[in-house]
Amino acid sequence: MMVKSMKVLITGAASGIGRKVAEVLVERGHFVYLTVHRPIELQKVQREIKSKNMKCLLLDITKEEERRRLLSLDIDCLINHAGIGYSGSLLTMPFSHLRDNFEVNFFASFALIQLLLPQLLEKEKGKIIIVSSLAGILPIPFLGSYCSSKAAISMFAKCFRQELKFTKSKLQVCLIEPGIYNTGFNDYMLENKEEAYFTKPYFSEPELLQSRMKQLFRLFGKNHYHSIVKQYVKAVEAKKMRKVYRAPFLSRIGMKLYLLFMG
């Protein structure tokens, strides 16, 4: 079946799943704008781009002036993929880190959607794909900051879908909730902490807690992105998007069993 070419904007796509999604969409005939956070990432991606149907842009999603530059783009589909994560206990985590998690994963994503909404509402087949996480469904200890921010964006997407029913627009909105993939993001999140997060008086075995978290990602992390990339592509090309796309299939069951085992 022939699919109409879409102009797609993917935020936070310097590497990992976002970057792979961009490459696959271009292979399938779509035009993709992908954004990266740092100048060094911009230079790297620009060197690696091999298609005229892919363009890399610099974007700090938390800065209004940088978000507003995207108004010059003509897009059919926004994939809100940018995100950050901190590990550590909610008992001891600095409030600034909790604020950062919500600033990027929720508030900045919300602001970008509102900014691009007028042009997307006018599209015949406009789409917004909001990327949450399995972590937005399951309460994972010592990832509470990240889990909470993802739960918030998931609920935003669900409410947003409901409100659109009261408009005359054909704009579609869906959620994508990836499970655990070994993109390097989870490892970075585990290291993105301070030793004080796991120290006394609350926690007597900080090393054990760290090893358990790493064990969780090793047990259930997938090395290949194919299953989740396929879900992104389905959402972009669907005549009528589903409410939620998830992969891999076993992540949710496995995580529930592991958390039950942890007690």
Indicate which residues carry an active-site annotation: 146
Q: Which residue has the tokens 């108004």?
A: 71
Buried b (16+ CB within 10 A) or exposed e, 116-126: bbeebeebeeb
**Strand 54-58 versus strand 172-178 pairing type:** unpaired
E strands, 221-260, are 244-247
Nearest Cα neighbor of 75 from 20, 122, 131, 15 is 122
Nearest Cα neighbor of 130 from 112, 143, 115, 145 is 112
Query: What is the spatial distance between Cα 86 and Cα 200, in angstroms, rounded to a whole number?
Result: 20
148's CB contacts (< 8 A; 6+ apart) are 98, 101, 102
* Cα angle: 22, vertex 61, 39; to 5 degrees: 70
CB 62 within 8 A of CB 103: yes
E strands, the chain, are 7-10, 31-36, 54-58, 77-80, 127-131, 172-178, 244-247
Say how many Å lie between the first and final Cα of the chain, rounded: 49
* Cα angle: 137, vertex 139, 141; to 5 degrees: 150
Q: What letter represents residue 203's amino acid?
A: F
